[in-house]
Amino acid sequence: MTFDYDLFVIGGGSGGVRAARVAAATGAKVALAEEFRMGGTCVIRGCVPKKLMVFASGYSEMFDDARAYGWDLQEGDFNWLRFRDKLHAELSRLEGIYRKLLDGSDVAIFDARATVKDPHTVALSNGKDVTAKHILVATGGRPVLPEIPGAELGITSNEIFLLDEMPKNILIVGGGYIASEFACILKGLGVKVTQFYRGAQILRGFDDEARGLVAEGMRAKGVDLQLGTNVVDMRAATDGDHKGIWVKDSNGQEAVYDQVMFATGRAPNTGDMGLQAAGVEVGRQGEVVVDEYSQTAVPSIYAIGDVTNRVQLTPVAIREGMAFVETVFKGNPTPVDHALIPSAIFTQPEMGTVGLSEEDARAQEPVEIYSTAFKPMNHAFAGRDDRVLMKLVVSVATRKVLGCHIVADHAGEMIQLAGIAVKMGATKEDFDRTVAVHPTMAEELVTMKEPVRTA
């Protein structure tokens, strides 16, 4: 059978674009469809705009620090619209780069919604059907609103970048990294921030000691973090010309906020795509079910990225796309490696982590914990009380470093490098043999000689 394309990619996010380009480089005839903007969640409404907002939000504290370091300067007001317009100009520039990369790789682009008609046919919203030997679903995910009365009055992380004005006060609902990051961002931009989380501590699944220090630091910076608390009812509220949102919480308290942002979960984008009708298995949460090679129950259809609900990180989607091309177009079956993925949470304080938490490690085997928390030189000089954490989780049997957890300025930069060592199977003695870089915070990772506890 002759097909229009060797590969048709549905979704123009980081994973889909990378897979399309690399497959085309093998000589395959490739097409890609994107219904919104090229770049996907990461570039358009995720990692990139969020990180730029992180940068912007940090200046309020930098002004105070600068004066402590002898600089004579006056603090100004944050101009949201000026920042927002420049932000969207940057996102448009990046989208253009993605399109240029695809064009340069001879990938055909369809600016249309694509659905699966059968194992080898894609139906486009422009009325055209195209056929492909292989179909790759890379449609990502989306934030979802909880089933709470009045939840439709709130916004999600998608809309936060589109606001016409900064709210004076906001309620952020959720305890994951998205909720916690935006709580810190908006507080840094001068917004009064309240955060509700129904659980006992934010950042569930991360190391307890590390997430505890992050929560402590957020509160110290002024975030009103209320644990064991959820929204039970919301209504529109008007006081003269001022419009807000009335909220009742699970503790019986009531308050009015300018905005309510939900960061309470995400769902894979599989709705009305024809996947199940084509024979693709879709899980209970809407995820495309795949094997270790990202192949679905239909041999010609694969899926990568957030739509599979495996690990929802942009670099992981890219790696999955690369493994897909190795497997399908280079004849080199390559399973996706999801072990020991470094990650960063851009809260303030920032957190970087790779490997097992102390809790997960001790449930697996006997471990030693090397940990130190201290006030770093730059904060101490500026008169701040911020503390940082350096922590290693070490196997008693093999001496391998099973986990590394950092809470500090630039923790994301540090964990990327520490992740290399952990991925290579470095032992505690390998860390000990490494000469410290002084004076730095990270030198503590190689100078901790005695465990603080065993578990």
C-alpha to C-alpha distance for 235 and 223, rounded to whole angstroms: 23
C-alpha to C-alpha distance for 388 and 414, rounded to whole angstroms: 13
Half-sphere exposure in the Cβ direction for 257 (13 Å, CA): 26
> What pairing do the DSSP bridges indicate for beta strands 169-173 and 192-197?
parallel
Beta bridge partners of 130: 122
C-alpha to C-alpha distance for 115 and 280, rounded to whole angstroms: 13
Residue 69 tokens, joined: 């370091």
CA distances from residue 273 to 114, 144, 314 in whole angstroms, order as listed: 8, 18, 22
C-alpha triplet 86, 91, 95: angle, nearest 5°: 150
Residue 171 tokens, joined: 């309620």
CA distances from residue 233 to 8, 175, 193, 242, 260 in whole angstroms, order as listed: 44, 19, 19, 20, 12
Per the listing, tokens 């984008």 go with 269
Comparing CA positions, the residue from 366, 373, 395, 340 lying closest to residue 448 is 373
> What pairing do the DSSP bridges indicate for beta strands 367-374 and 388-395?
antiparallel
Out of 134, 379, 405, 438, the active site residue is 438
C-alpha to C-alpha distance for 290 and 281, rounded to whole angstroms: 8
Per the listing, tokens 């009103």 go with 224
**H or E stretch covering 117:** strand 114-118
* 134 flagged as catalytic: no
User: DSSP string covering 340-372, please?
Assistant: S--EEE-SSS-EEEEE--HHHHHHHS-EEEEEE
- The answer to whether the CB of 300 falls within 8 A of the CB of 119 is yes
Task: Write out the catalytic residue numbers.
Answer: 438
